[in-house]
C-alpha cells in the first residue's frame, strides 16, 4: 500500500524536476548573455576617422609609414595621406592578405578581424574625415 502510493507520486515529481532544471538552465544562459554580452561583437555601426581609423593606423602602421620613415614611399600620417591610400585600394589590398604573404601589412602581424571590418566600413563610406 505504502509503496504503491510512493510510485504514483514519484514519477510526476521527477517530471517536474526535469522540466524545472531545463527551464532554469535556459534562464541562466540568457542572463549570462545579457550580463557579459558577446565578447566577439564588433561594432561597425558608427565608424569614424577620429574615433577608430586614426588609432588603428597610428598603432599598426605609422611606425613604418610616417614623414621620416616612409617604407615603400608611403606616409600614413593624417587624414589626407590615409584616405588617398585607402581609396586607391592599397590599404585593404595589403591588410587582408593571408598570413605568410610577404605583402601582408603589418608585416607578419595581420590586423584583427574587427579592425579590418572597421577599415572596410570607413572606406566603403568614402573614407571621410569625420
Which residues here bind ligand HEC, judged by CB under 6 A? 60-61, 63-65, 71-72, 74, 85, 90-91, 94-95, 103, 105-107, 111
Residue found under cell 586607391: 88
Specify the 3-state DSSP secondary structure of 80: helix
Q: To the nearest whole angstrom, how small is the minimum distance from the Cβ of residue 60 to ligand HEC?
A: 4
Q: Are 92 and 119 in contact (CB under 8 A)?
A: yes
Residue with smaller CB distance to ligand HEC, 48 or 77:
77
Residue with smaller CB distance to ligand HEC, 71 or 130:
71
Report DSSP letters for 18-49, one per residue: HHHHHHHHHHHHHHHHHHH--TT----TT--I
Q: To the nearest whole angstrom, how small is the minimum distance from the Cβ of residue 84 to ligand HEC?
A: 10
Q: To the nearest whole angstrom, how small is the minimum distance from the Cβ of residue 104 to ligand HEC?
A: 9
What backbone torsions phi and psi does residue 35 show, to the nearest 5 degrees? Answer: -70, -45
Q: To the nearest whole angstrom, how small is the minimum distance from the Cβ of residue 115 to ligand HEC?
A: 8
Amino acid at each position: 500500500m505504502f509503496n504503491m502510493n510512493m510510485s504514483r507520486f514519484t514519477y510526476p515529481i521527477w517530471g517536474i524536476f526535469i522540466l524545472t532544471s531545463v527551464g532554469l538552465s535556459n534562464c541562466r544562459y540568457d542572463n549570462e548573455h545579457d550580463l557579459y554580452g558577446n565578447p566577439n561583437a564588433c561594432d561597425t555601426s558608427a565608424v569614424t576617422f577620429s574615433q577608430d581609423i586614426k588609432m588603428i593606423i597610428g598603432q599598426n602602421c605609422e611606425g613604418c609609414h610616417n614623414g621620416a620613415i616612409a617604407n615603400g614611399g608611403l606616409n600614413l600620417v593624417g587624414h589626407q595621406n590615409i584616405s588617398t591610400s585607402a581609396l586607391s585600394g592599397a590599404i585593404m589590398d595589403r591588410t587582408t592578405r593571408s598570413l605568410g604573404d610577404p605583402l601582408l601589412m603589418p608585416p607578419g602581424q595581420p590586423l584583427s578581424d574587427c579592425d579590418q571590418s572597421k577599415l572596410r566600413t570607413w572606406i566603403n563610406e568614402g573614407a571621410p574625415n569625420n
